[in-house]
């Protein structure tokens, strides 16, 4: 019996039965293909940290040539859409209502003091509630102000150089398009959710409905049962993965600089890990409500928050950084961000792949052990 394992009719028949079951239950297909597509669309178009056209108010108490040249530099920047106010009170009212996220205040004596060396100060008030946007706003405003100052000094023939001048070069994504780094991460979230949902519900549901019991009464061996159950979902998951990849490259036009085979290899390892986690959860809980709950708690939100997809892992407290090692999404995000934007950087890929592989082995091993053959 052991000799013919994997090539015998039993396993073939079982996989075929599972496959038909998947085909006839539309929800599995929806999870594998429709869900990733919708997620990619939403994330791809909906998630962006590119702060442009920030609504700011500019208060000019005594308009002069200088203030209007500053105002027009502000208007010409894509980062701002400024509204003019005559008094600070009016601007503050809109600021409190949330219509403005910043106020740029040129006080009455500003243009008299400005360009009189070191006196004229532009005061800026920022709504700090959304700290990230506030910080970006400060950075952009500093840029606009520096550019304006340089032009004004040239116009007025003021020879002056700052003690230090900096040049900033950004590699891999020079225009800082957030989409290019978010889309690879989105694929990871997608596949985490898809993988965990596919298996966590299915196996638990079989326990609940008693069809698992029926399977136990067949001559299938434990290994055949295990493989036959997971293999169809693995194929479905890979289909969803390739579909997401094509959408990312052709629809969202994210550059892909690595090799396709690396992508496939890492996806295989990753999917084995997440499918194994889903099946393990259902084996332990044997209740589809609890299994789905646990699967979502351990897949979607951690993949969103702890994978380095949007929040930088290096900046988290050490204890939380340690925790991120237990979520396979972390490794896959690192692999995909590198494959898409930088190419085959072996030192990044190799250890991430290795960890993913071990993850898959351990999880599936545990799953196999917990695959009970006895009725209670």
Site for another protein in 96-155 (CB under 8 A): 96-98, 114-118, 120-136, 138-139, 141-142, 145, 149, 152-153
Integer Cα distance of 255 and 338 in angstroms:
11
**Of 141 and 273, which has the nearer Cβ to another protein?**
141
**Of 61 and 152, which has the nearer Cβ to another protein?**
152
The residues in 47-86 that bind another protein, with binding defined as CB under 8 A, are 47-55
Q: Choose, by CB under 8 A, the member of 266, 282, 283, 292 that binds another protein.
A: 292
Minimal CA–CA distance to 363: which of 190, 193, 196? 196
**Of 27 and 221, which has the nearer Cβ to another protein?**
27
Q: Is 157 in the site for another protein (CB under 8 A)?
A: no
* Shortest Å distance, C-beta 317 to another protein: 5
**Of 35 and 367, which has the nearer Cβ to another protein?**
35
Minimal CA–CA distance to 299: which of 283, 314, 278, 319? 278
Q: Choose, by CB under 8 A, the member of 30, 154, 362, 369 that binds another protein.
A: 30
* Shortest Å distance, C-beta 108 to another protein: 15
Residue 30 DSSP label: I
Please work out, in degrees rounded to the nearest 5, the angle formed at the alpha carbon of residue 21 by the alpha carbons of 16 and 22: 100
Q: Which stretch of DSSP H or E encloses residue 105? A: strand 102-106
* Shortest Å distance, C-beta 35 to another protein: 7
Q: Which stretch of DSSP H or E encloses residue 34? A: none
Q: How far is CA 120 from CA 67, 106, 123, 292, 325, in A?
A: 11, 9, 10, 61, 51
Integer Cα distance of 181 and 179 in angstroms:
5
**Of 285 and 364, which has the nearer Cβ to another protein?**
285
**Of 5 and 345, which has the nearer Cβ to another protein?**
345
- List, in sequence order, every residue forming a beta bridge with 59; answer none if it has no partner: 85, 105
Residue 345 DSSP label: -
Contacting range for another protein; rule: CB under 8 A; set: 5-13, 89-97, 211-219, 238-246 = 89-97
**Of 19 and 152, which has the nearer Cβ to another protein?**
152
Contacting range for another protein; rule: CB under 8 A; set: 37-45, 221-229, 235-243, 254-262 = 37-45
The residues in 300-359 that bind another protein, with binding defined as CB under 8 A, are 300-301, 304-306, 308, 310-312, 314-317, 319-320, 323-324, 334, 337-338, 341-342, 345, 347-348
* Number of amino acids touching another protein (CB under 8 A): 114
* Shortest Å distance, C-beta 219 to another protein: 29
The single residue listed with the structure tokens 């400060």 is: 138
Q: Choose, by CB under 8 A, the member of 38, 214, 251, 354 that binds another protein.
A: 38
Residue 374 DSSP label: S
Backbone φ and ψ for 57, nearest 5 degrees, come out as -105, 140
The single residue listed with the structure tokens 């493989």 is: 227
**Of 3 and 155, which has the nearer Cβ to another protein?**
155
The residues in 172-211 that bind another protein, with binding defined as CB under 8 A, are 172-174, 176-178, 180-181, 193, 197, 201, 205
Integer Cα distance of 90 and 1 in angstroms:
85
The residues in 219-278 that bind another protein, with binding defined as CB under 8 A, are none
Minimal CA–CA distance to 324: which of 359, 296, 367, 364? 359
Residue 56, SS3 per DSSP:
strand
* Shortest Å distance, C-beta 361 to another protein: 25
Minimal CA–CA distance to 356: which of 301, 277, 288? 277
User: Which tokens sit at 92?
Assistant: 């503050």
**Of 10 and 205, which has the nearer Cβ to another protein?**
205
């Amino acid at each position: 019996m052991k000799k013919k394992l994997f090539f015998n009719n039993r396993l073939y028949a079982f996989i075929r039965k599972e496959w038909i079951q998947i085909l006839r239950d539309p929800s599995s297909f929806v999870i594998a293909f429709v869900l990733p597509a919708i997620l990619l669309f939403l994330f791809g178009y909906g998630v962006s940290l590119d702060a442009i056209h920030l609504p700011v108010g500019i208060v000019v108490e005594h308009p002069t040539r200088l203030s209007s040249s500053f105002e027009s530099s502000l208007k010409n920047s894509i980062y701002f859409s400024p509204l003019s106010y005559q008094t600070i009170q009016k601007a503050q009212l809109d600021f409190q209502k949330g219509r403005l996220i910043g106020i740029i205040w040129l006080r009455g004596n500003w243009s008299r003091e400005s360009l009189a060396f070191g006196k004229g100060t532009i005061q800026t008030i920022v709504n700090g509630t959304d700290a990230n946007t506030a910080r970006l706003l400060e950075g952009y405003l500093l840029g606009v102000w520096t550019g304006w100052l340089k032009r004004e000094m040239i116009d007025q023939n003021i020879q002056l150089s700052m003690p230090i001048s900096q040049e900033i070069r950004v590699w891999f994504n020079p225009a800082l398009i957030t989409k290019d780094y978010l889309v690879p991460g989105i694929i990871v979230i997608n596949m985490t959710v898809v993988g965990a949902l596919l298996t966590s519900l299915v196996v638990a549901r079989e326990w609940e409905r008693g069809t698992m019991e029926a399977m136990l009464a067949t001559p299938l061996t434990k290994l055949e049962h295990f493989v036959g159950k997971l293999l169809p979902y693995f194929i479905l998951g890979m289909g969803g993965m390739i579909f997401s990849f094509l959408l990312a490259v052709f629809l969202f036009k994210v550059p892909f600089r690595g090799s396709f085979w690396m992508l496939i290899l890492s996806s295989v390892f990753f999917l084995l890990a997440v499918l194994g986690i889903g099946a393990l959860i259902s084996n332990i809980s044997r209740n589809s409500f609890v299994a789905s709950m646990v699967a979502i708690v351990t897949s979607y939100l951690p993949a969103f928050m702890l994978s380095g997809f949007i929040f930088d892992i290096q900046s988290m407290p050490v204890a939380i950084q340690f925790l991120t090692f237990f979520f396979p999404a972390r490794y896959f995000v690192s692999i995909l961000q590198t494959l898409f934007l930088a190419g085959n950087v072996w030192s990044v890929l190799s250890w991430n792949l290795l960890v993913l592989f071990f993850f898959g082995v351990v999880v599936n091993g545990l799953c196999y052990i917990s695959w009970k053959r006895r009725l209670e």
